[in-house]
Amino acid sequence: MPTLIRAALLLLAALALPRDLYAHEATLGVIEFREVRPGAFVGRWTMVPEIGAERVNLQVPQHCFLRLPELNCGDKGLVGPITITNLGAKMSAVLVKITSLNGEMRSYTLSSANPVVSVFSSDQPTLQAWIELGTTYLNYGIDHILLGADHLLFVLGLIWIVGGGWRLVKTITAFTIGHSVALAAAAFGLIGVPERALNACIALSIVFVGVEIVKQQRGRPGLTARYPWAVAFTFGLVHGIGFAGALAGLGIERRLLPAALAFFNVGVEIGQLAFVLLVLALMWAHRRLQAELPRWGAALPAYAIGSVAMFWFIGRLVRVFTTATI
């Protein structure tokens, strides 16, 4: 489809820049404070992305003293604001887990967009706590999708094949339903797939879309061109399990997980919609300019999509086997 060529080349230039091969792996750090006597806690990082915990600045209420692994809050207990700074793309949020002497666990999530949360003595979330939770996971979902180049590249391939109009609306809706269902199932532990192997499958799904584009350009419409919503839904399930890697295994409280999942999913959809609108805007601008590439250039974006995805697939597959042999 000529009107998509220039837009696709611009987007591919951005998406294909050197970046982490493991785009869907969790970027959420986890620090746990376990109370060992009234007002005294032992803290440790239980999950740390590649950024390293030493770069993260965690501030506790003023009456508390923190020097890991020690946290001492005295008679007042651990109540008040907790602040975190120096987050980035490698660690975009931090889950703070607090376990009291009686074994009750509470969790709070902080991000660069919402760096402060309020810890209360009551174990019942307040309206302020729900607002903080919703805002944090909404932004976390947006960050996760916009930093997930593999997901965006797959969506770009779908737009390339389907074009605009209601057919695109149905296709993107099917993809959304697919990854929303899989995200919920994986987050609640109903299904589980090794994350690194899954990431390799996600890359392979983009290779598939690249091949489908080439078929369409040669006048032999493939499965995606004929049944775009079915293909979108199927691969949406795969990508949804990949998104769940950002939440699974973090130890979020069961009572908070549905809300965290819902807000995270809404954030993902906002980011995805923004990307689709950007592509459509570039398509419209291309038509207005009436600019076309040479005939031989029509196949370049399709092969670029497939080449980038195959590069990711090989890198991720190598990581699967090297991890298995360790």
**Domain count within the chain:** 2
User: What integer pLDDT is reported at residue 245 of this predicted model?
Assistant: 63
Domain termination site, one of 145, 167, 184: 145
User: What integer pLDDT is reported at residue 64 of this predicted model?
Assistant: 94
User: What integer pLDDT is reported at residue 249 of this predicted model?
Assistant: 54
Taking residues 211-228, report their average pLDDT.
88
Domain with 238 in it: 2-22+149-325
- Cis-peptide, bond into residue 69, ω within 30° of zero: yes
Domain termination site, one of 101, 121, 145: 145
Please write the tens of the pLDDT for every residue from 85-115.
Answer: 877 656 777 888 898 888 888 888 887 777 8
Distance CA 140, CA 142 (A): 5
User: What integer pLDDT is reported at residue 17 of this predicted model?
Assistant: 44
User: What integer pLDDT is reported at residue 18 of this predicted model?
Assistant: 42
Please state, rounded to an integer, the average pLDDT across all residues of the chain: 79
User: What integer pLDDT is reported at residue 324 of this predicted model?
Assistant: 56
Do 13 and 52 lie in one domain? The reply is no
Do 189 and 92 lie in one domain? The reply is no
CA 60 to chain centre: 28
Three-class DSSP category at 80: strand
Do 37 and 170 lie in one domain? The reply is no
Residues 6+ apart with CB under 8 A from 19: 149
**Highest mean pLDDT (candidates 2-16, 125-139, 154-168, 299-313):** 154-168
Do 156 and 269 lie in one domain? The reply is yes
Do 200 and 123 lie in one domain? The reply is no
Domain termination site, one of 118, 145, 172: 145
Q: Which residue has the higher pLDDT, 154 or 51?
A: 154
Please write the tens of the pLDDT for every residue from 267-282.
Answer: 888 988 999 999 888 8
Do 76 and 205 lie in one domain? The reply is no
Please write the tens of the pLDDT for every residue from 1-35.
Answer: 444 444 444 454 444 444 444 455 556 788 899 99
Question: Could you give the C-alpha distances from 85 to 55, 58, 110, 135, 142, in angstroms and in order?
Answer: 9, 7, 9, 17, 19
User: What integer pLDDT is reported at residue 13 of this predicted model?
Assistant: 45
In the chain, % of residues over pLDDT 70: 78
User: What integer pLDDT is reported at residue 51 of this predicted model?
Assistant: 54
Q: Is the pLDDT of residue 42 over 50?
A: yes
Question: Could you give the C-alpha distances from 280 to 11, 12, 131, in angstroms and in order?
Answer: 12, 15, 33
**For residue 172, which of 249, 279, 28, 310 has the smallest C-alpha distance?**
279
